[in-house]
Amino acid sequence: MQTTLNMLKTHPGQTWTDPERLAGAIAELYSCAQACTTCADACLGEKEVQPLVACIRTNLDCADICLATGAMLSRVTSSPTELLRSMLGACAKACNTCAAECSKHSSMHEHCRVCADVCRRCEKSCRDLLG
């Protein structure tokens, strides 16, 4: 997060929100993308993959939208605020959906429990930025 914060603080443009808050959200987005990608891979490594197909798909979708949202939030020059708000809303929904799906498997798979927790934090971070 420190590198992201330093980049935002030294950027010649103005961020549309507090740089510390923005850097924290970007860090949560990338952390969630990593957790979701790893959870999907861990699901593929389980003996019984078929019951985890929806979880794998949800994880991969969530990872993709978190990466895209993090990248968009990292670009502050002429930020299209309405588009960012739409992405944050969609990302919060994806994180909520992924957390719910992972929670269904969390009693049997610890990686799903960890991923659900990360998704909930990321959802909160997105919603906090939305105000």
Per domain, the residue ranges of the chain are 19-130
Q: What does the block give as tokens for 102?
A: 């992972």
Contacts of 58 (CB under 8 A, 6+ apart): 97, 98, 101, 102
- CATH architecture for residues 19-130: Up-down Bundle (1.20)
* pTM (2 d.p.): 0.91
How would residue 46 be classed by pLDDT, with cut points 50, 70 and 90?
very high
Confidence check: pLDDT of 4 > 80: no
Instruction: With a cut of 80, say whether residue 14 has pLDDT above it.
Output: no
CA atoms within 13 A on the CB side of 19: 16
